Amino acid sequence: MSQHPTTYVPKSAFGKWFESRLPLAGLIHSSFIAFPVPRNLTYFWTFGAILAFMLVAQIVTGVFLAMYYTPNAAMAFQSVEHIMRDVEFGWLLRYLHANGASMFFVAVYVHIFRNFYYGSYKAPREVLYILGVIIFLLMMATAFMGYVLPWGQMSFWGATVITNLFSAIPVVGDTIVSYLWGGYSVGNPTLNRFFSLHYLLPFMIAGVVALHIWALHVPGQNNPTGIPIKSGKDAVPFTPYATIKDIFAVVVFMLFFAYWVFYMPNYLGHADNYIPANPAVTPAHIVPEWYFLPFYAILRAIPDKLGGVIAMGAAIVIWCFMPWLDTSKVRSTAYRPLYKQFFWLFVVVCFLLGWLGSRPAEGWYVIASQICTAYYFAHFLIVLPVLGFVERPLPLPNSILESVMGVQKVGAGVPAGANAEPSSKG
């Protein structure tokens, strides 16, 4: 990569003095300016930048909302109404924050499925990938606690149902629930604890994101072919090529985000949450936010309470084992015609689980949830391990440049080590 200088040399005397003591500018230059990225990256690789933007947006709007919110069971609902009606641009802050959570999950689900499709979880990116799963778990915890804070009917009863799940854990379950509640039922101590944790967790997410980016810069970025960078012709510097693409994608996503904020701000919420929390009145149908629905469907598909909790947790934890469950030597699904069919079937099953999670737990909805849950786990435990041995992948291009130029030497099978990362790449 000699045509892309990677050593930052300050020009001013102050810059040289500062760089010798804290090489911050050099770190930024090597990580976000001269850092080589594959030249064939598509717009699916811009969702990392979109997620970074959404994280900052959620933290900023959340900090301002916290200035006016009152974490008290008797005043929380009214304080939210005060923000919406009396605080200058409070309605905008709340709608940005509430819809921002949904946009955050839209972007992260695209990011995850892109990861699955192009095999970005494979060696040598296992730690990078597992850090991403940890970020997703922290996001889920943060979003759940944030959903409780408006203290409407769905907030209160959602908190009651979800926290009660921990009681299914043998021996320590009831103790965990009592610590979460701060008493014998969901109440003011619960709201205080959830508010405190909801404020704290985004900063923990930001810390893990920093580790995620650090881990990304060790092996470098994956690409649609799954082939590592082999020469300078396979890569371009991060700035301006990836930077311009990221900025454009963020602006387009902001327009999409703005549509929901200004035209359909309450569409993704639930009408019952505009009713103050009432422990004496249970809503007819308790449902979580849309981004939890697939896992909620898996929870309800198992008739046993403990079994449902285990299945719901395993549905995410199993992602951490994908680098070892996938036995194929080919990274990208684009070169795996048989697995591609199973992948899209898996996507359809995930959407079906999301829809089933919003339906009542009765009749054929439960049966359909059980079938989809069975395939969900079969995809990881049967399809991924078995297809690696029986599938015949398409021939891979010899380099990233070759795939971009559209020239490919036809060969029988995959060259040995075609997807191996060079050990010197850092």
Beta strand 235-237 with 36-38: parallel, antiparallel or unpaired? Answer: antiparallel
Confidence of residue 98 (pLDDT cuts 50, 70, 90): very high
> Assign residue 413 a region: left if phi > 0, alpha if psi is -120 to 50, beta otherwise?
left
Q: Name the amino acid, one letter, at 9.
A: V
The per-residue b/e assignment along 393-422, b for 16 or more CB within 10 angstroms, e otherwise, is beebbbbbbbbbeeeeeeeeebeeebbebe
Burial grade of 101 (CB within 10 A; 0-12, 13-18, 19 or more): buried
Among residues 53, 28, 46, 378, the alpha carbon closest in space to that of 217 is found at: 28
**Residues 57 and 100: beta-carbon distance below 8 Å:** yes
Determine the pLDDT at residue 95.
98
Three-state DSSP at 289 gives coil
Task: Assess whether pLDDT exceeds 60 at residue 1.
Answer: no
**Domains of the chain, CATH where assigned:** 28-407 (1.20.810.10)
Burial grade of 186 (CB within 10 A; 0-12, 13-18, 19 or more): buried
Helix or strand (DSSP H, E) at 194:
helix 188-216
Q: Is 97 annotated as a binding residue?
A: yes
Q: Is 379 annotated as a binding residue?
A: no
Task: Please provide the average confidence, as pLDDT, over all residues in the chain.
Answer: 93
pLDDT, tens only, 15-59: 999 999 999 999 999 999 999 999 999 999 999 999 999 999 999
Residues 6+ apart with CB under 8 A from 187: 73, 181
Report which DSSP code applies to 276.
Answer: B
Burial grade of 386 (CB within 10 A; 0-12, 13-18, 19 or more): exposed
**Residues 327 and 389: beta-carbon distance below 8 Å:** yes
Q: Is 212 annotated as a binding residue?
A: yes
Task: Assess whether pLDDT exceeds 90 at residue 268.
Answer: yes
**Residues 385 and 324: beta-carbon distance below 8 Å:** no
Q: What is the radius of gyration, based on Cα positions, of the chain?
A: 24
Task: Assess whether pLDDT exceeds 90 at residue 418.
Answer: no
**Residues 334 and 224: beta-carbon distance below 8 Å:** yes
Q: Is 111 annotated as a binding residue?
A: yes
* Cα–Cα distance, 152 to 184 (Å, whole number): 20
Helix or strand (DSSP H, E) at 38:
strand 36-38
Least confident of 101-115, 166-180, 400-414: 400-414
Among residues 155, 257, 141, the alpha carbon closest in space to that of 199 is found at: 141
Tokens at 85, concatenated: 């009606």
Task: Assess whether pLDDT exceeds 50 at residue 412.
Answer: no
**289 φ/ψ angles, rounded to the nearest 5 degrees:** -65, 160
Instruction: Please tell me whether the peptide bond between 228 and the residue prior to it is cis, using omega within 30 degrees of 0.
Output: no
> Other C-beta atoms within 10 Å of 262: how many?
11
**Residues 380 and 325: beta-carbon distance below 8 Å:** yes
